[in-house]
Amino acid sequence: MDFTKSLYENLQDKRTPFFVAHRGSCGANIPCNTLLAYKLAVDQGADVIEIDVSKSKDGVFFVFHPGMEKVYLNSKFNISEMTAAEVSQIPILNVDGVETHYRIPTLEKVLSFLKQKTYINVDKFWTDIQGITEMICQCGVQKQVIVKTPTEEKYLHEVEKFASDLMFMPLVRKQDMLTEKIERRNINFIGVETLFESLDDQVASKEYIKSMHDKGYLVWANSIVYDEKDIISAGLTDDISLEKGGDYGWGMLADLGYDFIQTDWLTEIKNYFSKRQR
């Protein structure tokens, strides 16, 4: 990735959407949101790597999905209830629930590792907008980072106050259309991440995506399946793409005009689009 160019220029140089590695590339004994998971995603050619941020009770930022402590750490305590020293000692579990030697990396280590390698999507940015922004600037990765929050007024206010220069994509659902409201703010608004249950939702329509492109904005979709009870890309998922073929999921998202596709199957989606282009 050439970070002397803009995000838009780098996207134009591709013949596919940007491929976003959800929490890196992980599996078997390699847990998600670890430095090795991010190295593998870089090695596999991720255009963007998604990271999650948690904050210890003494103010240290770690890369970990809040609320998943029981699943990945077998811990009854959340990171927000632990000191940084305690967090750094906890072994992460592998896919079989067995302890590994891997530990939760700090946000500083992850950002420093990914510097000049790929774009970085900082999820859970609203954990501490001011503090995370300061760490992004300290690590010198401002041109690589895309930050996201829900569309509540309190988050938009903090983004404008503390992170106005960072590339910003709000999370939007159905008719949650705040483009004009955000445009009036001093925010580096580059587009939206759409969450939709049905292809009838406005934010999933070709017309909506084209209208965003006409304004110079980008649109993000998620093929990941985080919860089968809450599918956030209708049925256009990683699962259907792997089961029936990419034409039933990833390809349809591309045909709708999406600029980013977030996936848990980076190598497979790259292979699909490589064959599709032939």
Q: Please check the confidence at residue 174 and state whether its pLDDT lies above 60.
A: yes
Q: Domain residue spans in the chain?
A: 7-276
Distance CA 46, CA 238 (A): 16
What rounded mean pLDDT belongs to the chain? 94
- What b/e sequence results for 162-174 when a residue is b if at least 16 CB atoms lie within 10 Å of its CB, and e otherwise? bbeebbbbbbbee
Six-digit token pair at 70? 């029981």
Distance CA 239, CA 208 (A): 25
Confidence of residue 182 (pLDDT cuts 50, 70, 90): confident
Six-digit token pair at 146? 């895309």
Architecture per CATH, 7-276: Alpha-Beta Barrel (3.20)
Question: Tell me, what's the pLDDT at 196?
Answer: 92
Q: Tell me: the pLDDT tens digits for 35-93?
A: 999 999 999 999 999 999 999 999 999 999 999 999 999 999 999 999 999 999 999 99
Q: Please check the confidence at residue 178 and state whether its pLDDT lies above 70.
A: no
Of these ranges, 173-187, 237-251, 264-278, the one predicted with the greatest mean pLDDT is 237-251
Question: Tell me, what's the pLDDT at 183?
Answer: 85
For residues 2 and 63, which has the higher predicted lDDT (pLDDT)? 63
Half-sphere exposure of 197 (CA within 13 A, CB side): 7
Mean pLDDT of 165-194: 85
Question: Tell me, what's the pLDDT at 173?
Answer: 82
Confidence of residue 181 (pLDDT cuts 50, 70, 90): confident
Distance CA 235, CA 199 (A): 8
Distance CA 101, CA 93 (A): 9
Mean pLDDT of 205-210: 93
Q: Please check the confidence at residue 175 and state whether its pLDDT lies above 60.
A: no
The length of the chain, given as a count of residues: 278
